[in-house]
Structure 1
């Protein structure tokens, strides 16, 4: 299987899909334990949830599972959240803190996975960012994530439904953050937070350069799954209540592109 799948659109918005892939090469699968083989920390069906919401959108999807290597982590292994429980470049545990390997990868194995999976994903993402920015004067990177709403190992209590991450306002213009927050705040009965437990991963932070607006959306999986447990079934009725708000966010960000391009000195 190819490490990344790209669907190139002609609009200004790019959807990053780093964690919905479930591919695990056989040699790596053989080293996972029973817990790891459940692949419980997948962003289940997040690609389906966003499918068709915005015409002309570009999508960049990692196909390998995050247990193979997490493409939303610093390739140098620097922690996103120092002092807090989190998972690493190649996770050693699941989100509940349980070991996932019979044989954990050594440094050579990690280097191999960086080359085979992490680097191609980011090469593809950078190519699409450059292409979209050249066309529109700005690229808007919207990184799509989801997670169980109750994970005591990672956070206390219940996660809000919409978790907007801009690394405390450093990864995008105020207009992007404000527009996204306004839509989420009006999306009854869903709850939201800005830069709460999830402030934006390595992707959101790494690509936040002039000419690129970058924002992460972490959704509680309770908003669109039948249950946050196997078999992780997509609930179309739940999703249909959520999707209009996601569509409104994406359309609003796309509509902001000409103004943002002007502010970055670009043209449309």
Structure 2
């Protein structure tokens, strides 16, 4: 299986999908313990949730699971949130701080180096190429990085998470118009809660590719999985009714970003 799937479109908006993949090579899967093999920390069904919301959008999707290597972590291994609980480039635990590898089979530095080359690097090479291609078409590119997480993860954050969690690293990764449009639609969404730059500021992808001065903008959307799953536990089934209520708001965001894009040339 190829580590990345790319669908090219002509919109100025690009959807990044680093955590929806569930592929784990057999040799790596055999080293995961029973908890790890559940792949609990997948962004379940997020690619399905966004499918068809915006015409001719480019998508860049990692097919491999984040337990193989996390496509949204700094390849250097530096923490995105120093001093806070988080998971690393090759996670040793899940989001509840439970070990995911069989004792004695934890990934080594050599494993990490191999996985960087085989999985992480190809994903980001594809993403960078699409950002460059879209920017060449429009003079601007907007990367909207798609994520989800369970509403309650005490190891990572206190209390329930808002439904919409927008990350721009405190406005550094995109033009103010992008942040304003996204936050405004989320705040106005009836029955949903939202926060801007709360627990999630945007992962390595958003921070690395968000270069507004070059016309390359990035914003992360972390959705609470209660917004679109029947249950935030195995088997993590998609809820058609919940998704039908949520998708119009996501569609509105993407449509407005595409409309705003031409005004951002020369930023």
TM tier, smaller: over 0.9
3-state SS in 2 of match to 1:171? coil
Superposed CA deviations along residues 170-190 of structure 1, whole A, max 9, x for unmatched, are: 000100000001000100100
SS, match of residue 54 in structure 2:
coil
Deviations 1:56-78 (A, max 9, x none): 11000000000000010000001
Tell me, what secondary structure is at the counterpart of 1:222? Answer: helix
Displacement after TM superposition at 1:211 (Å): 1.3
TM-score calculated relative to the size of structure 1: 0.98
Q: Matches of 2:186 and 2:150 in 1, distance apart?
A: 19
Q: CA–CA distance in 2 between the matches of 1:58 and 1:104? A: 36
In 2, Cα distance between equivalents of 1:220 and 1:153: 16
- For residue 182 of structure 1, give the secondary structure of its aligned residue in structure 2: helix
Give SS of 1:16's match: strand
2:155 counterpart of 1:144: no
Structure 1 moving runs of 4+ over 6 Å: none
Pairwise CA RMSD: 0.5
C-alpha deviation, 1:208, in angstroms: 1.3
Aligned positions of 1:142-181 closer than 5 A: 142-181=144-183
What TM-score, normalized to structure 2?
0.98
Mapping of 1:91-240 within 5 angstroms? 91-102=91-102, 103-209=105-211, 210-240=214-244
* Equivalent-residue separation in structure 2 for 1:68 and 1:90 (angstroms): 6
Distance 1:253 1:213 in 2: 11
Q: Does 1:243 find its partner at 2:241?
A: no
Count of residues paired in the alignment: 263
Deviations 1:193-238 (A, max 9, x none): 0000000000000001221010000000000000100110000000
Whole-angstrom distance in 2 between the partners of 1:112 and 1:176? 37
